Amino acid sequence: MLRVSSFLRSVTTALLLALALAAASAATDRKFSTSPTLAKEASIFVKLLEQAHYNHDAVRSSDYAQVVPDYMTELDGQHLFFLGTDKTAFSEKYGKSVYYNVAFLGNINAAYEIFDIYQSRVVSRINWVFDELKKDIGFAANETYRVDRTKSEWPSAAAAADELWQKRLKFELVGEMLNKKTLDEAKEIIRKRYERMLKNLADIDGSNLAETYLSTIARLYDPHTTYFSAETYEDFGIQMKLSLVGIGALLGLEDDNCVVKEIVPGGPADLGRVLKPNDKIMSVGQTNGEPVEIIGMKLRKIVELIRGEKGTQVHLIVQPADATDPSTRKEIVLTRDVVKLNSARARAAVFQVPGVEGKDQPLGVITLPAFYGPDDGDTDAEKSSASKDVARLIDQLKEQNVQGIVLDLRHNGGGYLTEAIDLAGLFISRGPVVQVKNYDGAIQVDNDDNDSIAYSGPLAVLVDRFSASASEIVTGALQNYGRAIVIGDSSTHGKGSVQQVVEMKQLSRDLAFAKEKTGATKFTIQKYYLPSGASTQLKGVVPDIVLPSIDEYIPNIGESDLPHALVWDKIPTSFFDGAPLAAKVLTPLRQASLERQTKLDEFAYLRKNIEWFKERQDQKLISLNLDERKKQKDADDAFRKEMKAEKEQIAKSDYSFKDFRLGPPAPPRIKAPKKEGDDEDDMDDLSDENDTYVKADVNLREALRVVSDAVALGKNKELWASN
């Protein structure tokens, strides 16, 4: 019986492989070319960028030569399939004529011809992988593999590529064996992975390639400008749909990997507290179904796998963003649901924090997940908004006689600009909040026109590298006015630009009446500036008090990490009644915090985690020796277990608090079920089912202590400001 099963499995495997290879072979016979409608679109698209993009003066026609290697990287992000000779040949053949071909002729045939070579390289390499998997493979040699090859050169020739791929294959096999798979099981997983890659390759069509090529051109201007094919534009609500029915996560593609860009407040992913921004989703499975690897899959297909009926479960295998070993995998089970705005609304709490005299004093915390408005799917009779909700929470905190407030904007990616202006106005009298500069140089000043101030007491704003856009506007404005102490990571995200979406058919009569469907573009038209005239672009907002953070060492989470990001600059200051906090106020607060950072156990714990993570991140070359990797994994597991014990100890001294919510009670935290063999050292698993605040939140604790210091400092009338 065993022999028969083995035989049937071999026959099935061979049949599936033959079908995959047949699909790939059929795909290689496809020939794409630029249609007349697409040619018109491409030409108009370039003209739009040249005339209306905020950064149009910074890009020259000669810069378009960079499109060739950039497009190659879009197809082959890890520089594994193309050869160095391909880059040379493509650059010589297409590089100098990219601008002329697209701008004047609308010809993007270079995209299709480069893809033809890529496709043949992939099919050939995957056949090579299938042959290698049949051989004996050893893991005792002291070899290493560079995991992140995004900045590496392509292999110089076929022999160098074979050597690279021998290491690549070992790297993938070791990763699976470290996840408790036998060598045979690991080989089977890898084989299926590359069969899936062949299928994904066959799914790529001409519109996908046109979108990729024209988006590569768009990103010469800035990283937030892109081109949407007709298919993608029709599905442009993909992110919003995900946020309304699904898991509540905004997704993107980086180097063939599906990456979590943002967690939607109030959604299943947010309530689960397990999926994090920058996590990579490796496979998607349904209950009682086999997981499907999604590496190399189109975003639309990934979303189709993740979305489903309300109440059903989706199983995600992810590589955590803060994983120090690329073989690390975690299964996350989320129950699909509609994201309810009430779950994402601002909330507050009163914490009892020991004052300078040792007596507990009530301090408020207002947590704002996003700058939402009354049109964000709210079905309540009252049309809530971020500014109105925060105003109501301030009233509730004042009724509790809080002595100071922390406004927590960590992981707040932004939202409505009008809400940012109104919210800043809760803490200042009338005056400029943000300046907006157009591509033609015109400057508009947006003011808070309300004289009333909802709260005038001690205030801190807590931020991190994920605080972006509207969060940066509010934080920077309050800092400019000297109205708040800003605390957090070394800087906020740094997105200080505004984008607009335009359908291509709106730009041309010919396209408006074209029989074929046309696409659209999202392009940058403005930049934000603070009342002082400083841009929030690139540099973000720099806190007054910087706290240690692991975010500093997670790659690609700030604007400054993105290629072709717009520069930081200044415009003339607006006239406003305020100034940054004086040194005589800020210096003692900063010094007191720095002293605590050197003495308190919680900061020692934080620094140990950061140093360990940084050391692992700096380890660019990963050993392919299985025994060495097992030793490192054991050491990492032991370290995490030690840190979990320390965190639990720190959590015992958390400040007590009373929660305030505007909507219904918080839904229970959604947890993935534990399975046999799961690690017990999940660093985030320290909260009870309904806890509003995670335990041992070192940065929040310190922000509260800084506000406590400010309360004490405020008793010195010599430090009072006129405003």
What are 30-82's pLDDT values in tens digits?
889 999 999 999 999 999 999 999 999 999 999 999 999 999 999 999 999 99
**Per mean pLDDT, which range of 225-234, 252-261, 561-570 is the poorest?**
252-261
Those residues with Cβ within 8 angstroms of residue 439's Cβ, 6 or more apart along the chain or in another chain: 52, 53, 54, 56, 525, 526
Confidence of residue 383 (pLDDT cuts 50, 70, 90): low
Please tell me whether residue 220 adopts helix, strand or coil conformation. Answer: coil
Confidence of residue 719 (pLDDT cuts 50, 70, 90): low
8 Å CB contact between 266 and 342: yes
Q: How far apart are CA 529 and CA 473, in angstroms?
A: 8
Residue 314 backbone dihedrals phi, psi, to 5 degrees: -125, 140
Q: How far apart are CA 704 and CA 404, in angstroms?
A: 9
> To 5 degrees, how large is the angle CA 431–CA 437–CA 439?
165
Across 266-329, where does the E strand assignment appear?
280-286, 292-293, 313-319
**Per mean pLDDT, which range of 117-131, 679-693, 709-723 is the poorest?**
679-693
Residue 329 has what pLDDT?
Answer: 87
Burial class (CB in 10 A: 0-12, 13-18, 19+), 126: buried
Listed residue (422, 361, 366) closest to 393, CA to CA? 366
Listed residue (541, 371, 408, 406) closest to 465, CA to CA? 541
CA atoms within 13 A on the CB side of 282: 18
Question: Is the sign of the CA dihedral 496, 502, 504, 510 positive or negative?
Answer: negative
Q: How far apart are CA 270 and CA 369, in angstroms?
A: 10
pLDDT over threshold 80, residue 676:
no
The larger pLDDT score, comparing residue 291 to residue 572, is at 572
Across 596-643, where does the E strand assignment appear?
621-623
Give the tokens for residue 516.
């074929």
Give the mean pLDDT of 578-599. Answer: 96
Give the tokens for residue 118.
């890529």
Distances (CA, A) of 294 to 168, 200, 329: 18, 9, 14
Q: How far apart are CA 183 and CA 169, in angstroms?
A: 12
pLDDT over threshold 90, residue 270:
no
Write down the mean pLDDT value for the chain: 88
Confidence of residue 252 (pLDDT cuts 50, 70, 90): confident
Look up residue 78 and give its amino acid.
Answer: Q
pLDDT over threshold 50, residue 565:
yes
Give the tokens for residue 157.
């020739």
Confidence of residue 366 (pLDDT cuts 50, 70, 90): very high
Question: Which of 279-293, 306-320, 665-679, 693-707 has maximum average pLDDT?
Answer: 693-707
- Name the pTM for this structure: 0.86
Residue 673 has what pLDDT?
Answer: 54
Give the tokens for residue 485.
């102490």
Give the tokens for residue 496.
């200080």
Give the tokens for residue 283.
């496979």
Q: How far apart are CA 707 and CA 396, in angstroms?
A: 19
Residue 21 has what pLDDT?
Answer: 54
Residue 325 has what pLDDT?
Answer: 80
Give the mean pLDDT of 458-465. Answer: 97
Helix count (H) and strand count (E) of the chain?
22, 22
Please tell me whether residue 457 adopts helix, strand or coil conformation. Answer: coil
Give the mean pLDDT of 623-639. Answer: 95
Look up residue 639 and give its amino acid.
Answer: F
Q: How far apart are CA 212 and CA 226, in angstroms?
A: 9
8 Å CB contact between 405 and 363: yes
Residue 236 has what pLDDT?
Answer: 61
Give the tokens for residue 326.
């690329």
Q: What is the pLDDT of residues 134-189, one digit of tens each?
A: 999 999 999 999 999 999 999 999 999 999 999 999 999 999 999 989 999 999 99
Q: How far apart are CA 542 and CA 414, in angstroms?
A: 17
8 Å CB contact between 357 and 709: no
Residue 376 has what pLDDT?
Answer: 54
Q: How far apart are CA 52 and CA 65, in angstroms?
A: 21
The strand pairing partners of 486, in sequence order, are: 461
Confidence of residue 685 (pLDDT cuts 50, 70, 90): very low
Residue 299 has what pLDDT?
Answer: 80
Q: What kind and span of H or E run contains 470?
A: helix 470-480
Give the tokens for residue 423.
């919210």
DSSP 14-45: HHHHHHHHHHHHHHHT------HHHHHHHHHH
The larger pLDDT score, comparing residue 85 to residue 663, is at 85
Q: How far apart are CA 398 and CA 485, in angstroms?
A: 19
Confidence of residue 692 (pLDDT cuts 50, 70, 90): confident
Where are the alpha helices (H) located in 76-146, listed in sequence order?
84-94, 98-100, 109-133
Residue 304 has what pLDDT?
Answer: 82
Listed residue (467, 463, 481, 492) closest to 415, CA to CA? 467
Question: Is the sign of the CA dihedral 416, 417, 418, 423 positive or negative?
Answer: positive
pLDDT over threshold 60, residue 391:
yes
**Per mean pLDDT, which range of 12-21, 219-228, 381-390 is the poorest?**
12-21
Residue 669 has what pLDDT?
Answer: 55
What's the length of the chain? 723
Ramachandran assignment for 392, one of left (phi > 0), alpha (psi -120 to 50 degrees), beta (any other): alpha
Strand order of the sheet with strand 545-546? Answer: 545-546, 485-488, 459-463, 405-408, 360-367, 347-354, 657-661
